[in-house]
Amino acid sequence: MSTRFEDFYRRSIENRDLFWAEQAELIDWQQKPQQICDYSNPPFAKWFVGGTTNLCHNAIDRHLAARADQNALIAISTETNTEKVYSYGELHAEVNHMAAVLQALGVQKGDRVQIYMPMIAEACFAMLACVRLGAIHSVVFGGFASGALASRIDDAEPKVIISADAGSRGGRVVAYKPLLDEALKQSTHQPAGVLMVNRGLADMPMQAGRDHDWTTLRAQHLNAKVDCIWVESTHPSYTLYTSGTTGKPKGVQRDTGGYTVALASSMPSIFDGQAGQTFFCTSDIGWVVGHSYIIYAPLIAGMATVLYEGLPIRPDAGIWWSIVEKYKVTHMFSAPTAIRVLKKHDAEYLTRYDISSLKALWLAGEPLDEPTATWISEAIKKPIIDNYWQTETGWPIMTLCNGVEKQATRFGSPGKAVYGYNVKLIDDATGEELTDANQKGVLAIEGPLPPGCMQTVWRDDKRFVSTYWSSIPGRQIYNTFDWGIRDEEGYYFILGRTDDVINVAGHRLGTREIEESISAHAQVAEVAVVGVADTLKGQAALAFCVVRDASVVADEASSKAMEADVMKLVDSRLGAVARPSRVIFVTALPKTRSGKLLRRALQAVAEGRDPGDLSTMEDPAVLSQVQQRL
C-alpha cells in the first residue's frame, strides 16, 4: 500500500495538470486559467495560461476581510533597537503609499524597479508595491559593492531605484548612498528616479531632479488607494541573481501565477503552516529564501512574518529565541551557516526562553552537516528539517512534506523529492539515468519544471537553455549542478556541487563527505575542503579549518598535532584515500554574502590561479590570510 505522500507525489507527476489545477484553487484569480501548463516549447514552461492574478492582492488585499487587525509584518532591528508591528490593514496602507509614490515617479506595469535596501519594513513595502503595479522588482543584496550593483543596474535597466541612507551590521553603519552613487557613475543605464529612505544613520547627499525623499513623497500620498493591476499569470514578478558561488551570478526571471500557487501550496503541504501563525525566516530579502519565505509565502498564507535586521549573536546568542518567545513564532527558517555561528557560543543561550510555540526549524542554503544538525537539535529540542533548493527553483526541491504526511527526519539528508519535481539521478559521463539505490549521480529535474521555478534567464533565453538544459550528454533535462545519492526509501543526500568533486588517484570524492568527517572533530567549528592539482595523484584534498578555541593551534607543534588528529579522523571515517594532504588552520573561511563557502576562490588561491569574480565575496581580507598560510 502506498502512503499518503507517495500518492500525492505520484499524482503531481502523472496527473500534473489536474494536480496543479487543484493547487491553483489556493489563490485568488481575477480570471481563471484556461490551460494549466503549456509545454509546447520546451524547456520553456508556461503555467496557468490565460489566468490573471496579482501577487500583492494574494499577499495582502484578500486577507483584509478576515484579518485586517492581525499581525502581518513584525520588523525588528537589533541594530537600531527598533521594533514595529504592522497589521494586515496597516501593511495594506503602507504598500498603497509606496505604490502611489512609485506611480508618481512614472513606474508602470513591466517597468523594472531595483531595490537596494537593508532589512527594513520599507523594503517589504517596496517589493509588494512593485508587484501591486505589475512592475518587476530586482532586489540587490544591501551592501553589495558598487561594481556588483552597477552590473545589475545595467542588466535590469530600472526606471526607479529604491534605497536607503544606510544599513547596519554588528553595530557598524554601512552608508548605501555613496555606494549607489558610485554604481550609477559606473553604469550605462540611468534611472529616471531614485527613492531614498532616510533612517538617520548616515549622510545621504541628494541629486536634485533625480533623488527623492520617501518621507516627503509618502506624506503627499497618505490617502492613496492604488488598485492592484491584474497581470497575466506568465507576467514576470521579479528577477533575482543567484549567489555567485560558482562564478558569475545568473539573473533568474520568475513568473507571477506559478510562483503564487507554488508558495501558496508550500505553506500547508511542506511547512504545515496556517493563517494566524508566525513565520520567522532569518535570511535576507536579497536572497531567494528571503523573497519566498520572509515576504511572499507567509503573507500569502495569512501568517505574520518577522523581518529581522541584525546578527544572530547580538546582543547575545539568545536574541532569535527571545523573538520566538515574544511573538510566539511557530515556524523558523535559517541557514546552516547561521547555526555554525551560534555553535561557537554556549548552547545555554538558546534555552533561556520559552520557545514552546515553535514547531520546527527549517534550514537551507548549504549542506547541513550532521554535527551541526545534532548540536542545534539538542540545543533547542525541536525537529530540524533540512531543505534543498536553488534561486532558480524559488521553493524547495527536496524536503519533508510534513503537511501532507509526517515524514521521518534523517540527518544528512534533506528528505525526499518534493511534489511537482520529477527528480532524476544521472550519470554525468553517459547521461544515463541511475535507478538503483545508493548510486552517485548528478541531480537533475525532468521538464517541465513545476510552477514557481525560473521562467528563463532575464533577457537571455539562450543562456537559460545552454546553461541548464544542454549540459548533460544526450539529455534535455534541467541540471542542478549538484550531485547526490538516493537511498532505498527515496531519501536524497546532497554530496556537493558537481565541480566540487575531487578525483584522488581515480577515486571520486565529494568535498562534502570529507568535510563532514572533519567537522565531527570536537574542536572544529568550520571546514572547507578543496581539490588542488597534484602531479602524482591528479588531485589532492586540502582542508581549511577554523577551530573553536584558537589556543589548540597557537604554535607550530600544536598545529601539527591537530593536523594529525584531523587526518586520523578522516582515515577512520572514510579511509586513507580521502585523507587531506594538508590541513591549514585559518580564523575564517571565504564566503559569499549569503554565507556560502567560496570553494572556487580557495581552490584558485591554493593552485596559484586568479580567483576570478569576487564581487559576491563577504570579506576579501579572509583570502589574504589563506594565501599567507598556504
Asked if 366 is part of the footprint of ligand ATP (rule: CB under 6 A), the reply reads yes
Tell which one of 339, 364, 376, 472 touches ligand ATP (CB under 6 A).
364
Residue of the chain from 23, 53, 260, 391 that contacts ligand ATP (CB under 6 A): 391
Residues in the chain: 630
456 binds, options ligand ATP, Mg ion, none, Cβ within 5 to 8 A by partner type: none
* 21, 36 Cβ separation under 8 angstroms: yes
Minimum Å gap between C-beta 495 and ligand ATP is 9
Q: Does 596 bind ligand ATP (CB under 6 A)?
A: yes
The site string for Mg ion over 234-273 (x = CB under 5 A, - otherwise) reads: --------x-------------------------------
Task: Give the residue among 241, 293, 255 at the shortest CA–CA distance from 271.
Answer: 293
Is 386 a binding residue for ligand ATP by CB under 6 A? The answer is yes
**CB-based contact 64:89 (threshold 8 Å):** yes
Among residues 470, 390, 472, which one has the least CA distance to residue 424?
A: 472
Rg (CA), the chain: 24
SS3 for 12-43, per residue?
A: HHHCHHHHHHHHHHHCCCCECCCEEEEEEECC
Instruction: Say if residues 198 and 98 touch (Cβ distance below 8 Å).
Output: no
Beta strands at 331-334 and 360-364: parallel, antiparallel or unpaired: parallel
Return the one option of Mg ion, ligand ATP, none that residue 480 interacts with (CB less than 5 to 8 A, by type).
ligand ATP
Please write down the HEC assignment for all residues of 266-324: HHHHCCCCCCCCEEEECCCCCCHHHHHHHHHHHHHCCCEEEEEECCCCCCCCCHHHHHH
Q: Mark 409-428 with x for binding to ligand ATP (rule: CB under 6 A) and - for no binding.
A: -----x--------------
CB closer to Mg ion, 63 vs 600? 600
Minimum distance from residue 362 beta carbon to ligand ATP (Å): 10
Segment near ligand ATP (CB under 6 A), from 292-300, 319-327, 359-367, 566-574? 359-367
- State the nearest-atom distance from the C-beta of 344 to ligand ATP, in Å: 21
Could you tell me the three cell numbers for 429?
A: 559521463
Residue 79's binding partner, choosing from Mg ion, ligand ATP, none, with beta-carbon cut-off 5 to 8 A by kind? none
Residue bearing cell 535507478: 435
Nearer to Mg ion, 418 or 570 (CB): 418
3 state SS of 362: strand
Q: CA-to-CA distance for 365 and 389, rounded, in angstroms?
A: 7
Contact between 387 and ligand ATP by CB under 6 A: the answer reads yes
Nearer to ligand ATP, 199 or 416 (CB): 416
365 touches ligand ATP (CB under 6 A): yes
Decide whether 278 or 594 has the Cβ nearer to ligand ATP.
594
Nearer Cβ to ligand ATP, position 77 or 245? Answer: 245
Residue type for position 19? F
Distance CA 550, CA 568 (A): 20
Name the segment binding ligand ATP (CB under 6 A); options: 171-179, 227-235, 358-366, 546-554.
358-366
Size of the site for ligand ATP (CB under 6 A): 26
Q: Is 502 left (phi over 0), alpha (psi -120 to 50) or beta?
A: beta
Indicate the residue among 79 and 516 with the shorter CB distance to ligand ATP.
516
Compute the distance between CA of residue 221 and CA of residue 260 in angstroms, rounded to an integer: 28
Site for ligand ATP in 139-198 (CB under 6 A): none
Rounded Cα–Cα distance for residues 545 and 278 (Å)? 37
Please state the closest distance from residue 544 (CB atom) to Mg ion, in A.
Answer: 21
366 binds, among ligand ATP, Mg ion, none (CB under 5 to 8 A by kind): ligand ATP
Nearest Cα residue to 499 out of 515, 484, 483: 483
Which of the stretches 59-67, 326-334, 351-359, 384-392 binds ligand ATP when contact is defined by CB under 6 A? 384-392
Whose Cβ is closer to ligand ATP: residue 244's or residue 371's?
Answer: 244
Residue 397 interacts with, from ligand ATP, Mg ion, none (CB under 5-8 Å by kind): none
80-83: long-range pairs with CB below 8 Å, 24+: 80/168, 80/199, 80/201, 80/309
Cell numbers placing 24: 491553483
Rounded to the nearest whole angstrom, what is the least distance from the CB of residue 171 to Mg ion in the complex?
32
CB of 558 to Mg ion, least distance (A): 38
Alpha-carbon span 34 to 43, nearest angstrom: 21
284 binds ligand ATP (CB under 6 A): no
Minimum gap (Å) between residue 414 Cβ and Mg ion: 15
Map the footprint of ligand ATP across residues 206-265, applying CB under 6 A.
242-247, 249-250
For 403-417, give the DSSP string: TTS-----TT--BEE
φ, ψ for residue 415, nearest 5 deg: 95, -150
Q: List interacting residues with Mg ion (CB under 5 A).
A: 242
Q: List interacting residues with ligand ATP (CB under 6 A).
A: 242-247, 249-250, 364-368, 386-391, 414, 480, 482, 494, 497, 594, 596
